[in-house]
């Protein structure tokens, strides 16, 4: 297995959750710095991947302005971010994409590193996965996973597995460590208070 950018990377922005802490609705559509949070995520991730899709459930028309393919979960019951990873793997296969890697990032992280993919590929080495870490905290939803993990992931979900951290540990994922300064690149907007904090921090 060759761990290089030329192997191809499909980026999957995860927007399939229920946003309970934000009171429902779509966090990616919330305004931040004069444009939706999702725009900041797209701006940072799109240059790093070969293709970019949005994992979201419900009516896809609400995402039409972003001009991205929208793929829904292939597992029922909103089982979490791992369902989005599986959907991305299945979409890549259905589209016959050459991408060997699937990158997942949350839709509510407007400060994502602009070198995220390169750092994850470097960290992966000969492992089939790598996830990000900052401030001593693991961020398994910001990760890079090889497509050969697809069947194992499907079995994990079918068996009731839900936690992204548990899945990352099962794959033997390596870790790419990122600095928190000047802002934690994995700061995410889960609450109105965090949205206000992101506004104060400012985004490029």
Q: Is the separation of the CB atoms in 152 and 82 below 8 Å?
A: no
pLDDT at 24: 55
- Any idea what DSSP says for residue 13? E
pLDDT band at 170 (very low <50, low <70, confident <90, very high): very high
Q: Is the separation of the CB atoms in 84 and 12 below 8 Å?
A: yes
pLDDT at 78: 82
Condensed to tens digits (0 to 9), the pLDDT of residues 6-34 reads 359 999 999 976 544 444 568 999 999 99
pTM: 0.92
Residue with the bigger pLDDT between 167 and 19: it is 167
50 C-beta neighbours (distance < 10 Å), count: 16
Nearest-angstrom CA–CA distance, 149 and 171: 8
pLDDT band at 150 (very low <50, low <70, confident <90, very high): very high
Q: What is the mean pLDDT of the chain?
A: 91
Q: Is the separation of the CB atoms in 130 and 174 below 8 Å?
A: yes
Condensed to tens digits (0 to 9), the pLDDT of residues 40-83 reads 999 999 999 999 999 999 999 999 999 999 999 999 888 899 99
pLDDT at 7: 53
Nearest-angstrom CA–CA distance, 131 and 47: 19
- Taking phi over 0 as left and psi of -120 to 50 as alpha, with beta for the rest, 23 belongs to left
In this structure, which topology does domain 5-201 adopt according to CATH? Spore Coat Polysaccharide Biosynthesis Protein SpsA; Chain A (3.90.550)
Find the DSSP H helices in 69-158. 81-94, 116-124, 150-158
Is the N-terminal amide bond of 7 cis, ω within 30° of 0? no
Return the structure tokens found at 67.
Answer: 């001009």
The CA-based angle 99-95-2, given to 5 degrees, is: 15
Nearest-angstrom CA–CA distance, 96 and 169: 28
13 C-beta neighbours (distance < 10 Å), count: 30
Each domain of the chain, given as residue ranges in start order, spans 5-201
Nearest-angstrom CA–CA distance, 189 and 170: 28
DSSP 32-74: ETTEEHHHHHHHHHGGGSSEEEEE--S-GGGGGGG---EE--S
Q: What is the mean pLDDT of residues 155-181?
A: 96
pLDDT at 76: 87
Condensed to tens digits (0 to 9), the pLDDT of residues 94-110 reads 999 998 999 999 999 99
pLDDT at 17: 62
């Amino acid at each position: 297995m060759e761990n290089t950018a030329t192997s191809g990377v499909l980026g999957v922005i995860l927007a399939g959750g229920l946003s309970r802490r934000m009171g429902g609705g779509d966090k990616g559509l919330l305004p931040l710095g004069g444009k939706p949070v999702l725009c900041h995520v797209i701006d940072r991730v799109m240059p790093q991947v070969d293709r970019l899709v949005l994992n979201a459930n419900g009516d896809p028309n609400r995402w039409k302005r972003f001009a991205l393919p929208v793929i829904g979960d292939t597992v029922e019951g909103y089982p979490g971010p791992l369902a989005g990873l599986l959907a991305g793997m299945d979409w890549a296969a259905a589209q016959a994409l050459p991408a060997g890697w699937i990158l997942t990032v949350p839709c509510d992280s407007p400060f994502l590193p602009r070198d995220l993919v390169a750092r994850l590929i470097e960290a992966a080495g000969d492992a089939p996965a790598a996830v990000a870490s900052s401030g001593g905290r693991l961020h398994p939803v910001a990760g890079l996973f090889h497509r050969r993990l697809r069947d194992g992931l499907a079995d994990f979900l079918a068996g009731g597995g839900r936690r992204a951290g548990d899945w990352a540990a099962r794959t033997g994922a390596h870790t790419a460590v990122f600095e928190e300064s000047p802002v934690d690149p994995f700061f995410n907007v889960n609450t109105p208070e965090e949205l206000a904090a992101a506004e104060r921090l400012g985004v490029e």
